[in-house]
Structure 1
Amino acid sequence: MNQKVDSELLLRLKEGDINAYDAIFLKYFKLLCLNAYFFLKDEQEAKDLVQVFFMEIWEKKLYMKLEGEIRGYLYRSVQNRCLNKLRQLESVQQKSELYTVFNAGESVEEPLPETIFQSLDEALGQLPAQRREAIQIVYLHNKKYQEAADVMGISINSVKTHLKIGLKNLREYINKNKNRLT
């Protein structure tokens, strides 16, 4: 019976019945929030993620591609969004940890001396243009590797190589000039 109700709601939604959308939202919102909470462990994040998902279903007319049973699609979509969110948070954490490498072991909460920023700017200036650009796009502008590759017109592997060598060069520069920085 439940599948029949979902397929009827979906058919009505495709015909432009906004009440069918509301019915689907009311039927699945709390369940999907619970599903998202299982992954995110944050009630508000879970609700926000599910709400954005439902907005995209409506705005992008994703419902037009669906047939019959929609429960599986809704659960899998929310699960995938949660996993993507967790990967994004992990990436931010890794970038934060890299930042501490430049902080030479000092606590991040303490204000950084202006010389650190000048030194980092000077070190970045010593890098070849593509390495500097890759570091700025990924670490200073918080972009993904694919976005950096698109902006730079190179492959993702080239971006990764520029980042790896560039960070190594920055560490060497900072270690070599430690005495001058403090």
Structure 2
Amino acid sequence: MHTDVNDDLLLQELKSGDTKAYKTMYMRFEKLLLFEASRLLCDVEEAKDVLQEFFIDFFEKKRYNNIHTNLKGYLYISIRYNCMLILKRQKSLQKSQQEYYSSQEEPTVHLEEEQEPTVRDYIDNKVNELLKFMPAQRSKAFQLYVLQGMKRKEVASVMGLSDNTVKTHLATAIKTLREKLS
């Protein structure tokens, strides 16, 4: 049995192709590596998945052939690295989701595509007429954002205003138009 074999001998046995050595290595280091992965990921199930994927990859790609010094250190650092990659992906995904949801919060005017051209023309004319009665900056912000298709930050830059001021102008303009058009 390999349970009291030191790490160097265990590494030699792995390199020689001894499958029992692989099982011994797994039994010896599983708890330590699972603890570290769980601590980093704050999720035991995900940590188990990371550990399982790591050991499969380690065995299939014979990564033990690349170890020349400390088996335990190699395993520990590899698990930490894999966890850091997952955390980086999660952070990137959260950032993407946050950007998506914040872009969805921007005020927009939706005119139905199925409307007949005469109704659409009427609405366009009415909107243009109502814009004349709005304060100049509010009207300009709306025209740049909705009618010319600029992004809110571009409108802010062109007008020399803060992004929040443009957001407020747009929200107020849209609210006014909805009230007047309904």
TM-score interval, smaller chain:
0.5 to 0.7
Task: Indicate the residue corresponding to 1:85 in structure 2.
Answer: 86
CA distance in 1 between partners of 2:70 and 2:96 (Å): 41
CA apart distance, 1:69: 2.2
- The equivalent of 2:123 in structure 1 is none
Who is 2:28 aligned against? 27
How big is each residue's C-alpha offset from its partner over 1:75-129, in whole Å with a ceiling of 9 and x where there is no partner? 11111111111111110000001101221259xxxxxxxx6xx9xxxxxxxxxxx
Alignment identity in percent? 32
Contact 1:10 1:68 in 2 (8 A): no
Amino acid at match of 1:47: K
Deviations 1:37-60 (A, max 9, x none): 111100001111111111111111
- Tell me the equivalent position of 1:50: 51
SS in structure 2 at match of 1:16: coil
Instruction: Tell me the distance in 1 between the aligned counterparts of 2:151 and 2:26.
Output: 50
Deviations 1:20-48 (A, max 9, x none): 01110111111101001111100001111
Shift of 1:70: 0.7
Regions of 4+ moved over 4 Å:
169-173
Superposed displacement of residue 6, structure 1: 1.0
Compute the TM-score of the two structures, normalised by the length of structure 2.
Answer: 0.56
CA-atom RMSD in angstroms: 3.3
Q: Structure 1 residues 171, 19: CA separation in 2 closer, same or farther (over 3 Å shift)? A: farther
**Corresponding residue of 1:15:** 16
Distance, in Å, in 2 between the alignment partners of 1:9 and 1:58 is 14
Amino acid at match of 1:17: D
In 2: Cα distance, 1:68 partner to 1:6 partner: 10
TM-score calculated relative to the size of structure 1: 0.56
**CA 1:7–1:102 in 2, change beyond 3 Å: closer, same or farther?**
same
Shift of 1:4: 6.4
* CA drift at 1:67: 2.3
Q: CA deviation at 1:68?
A: 4.0
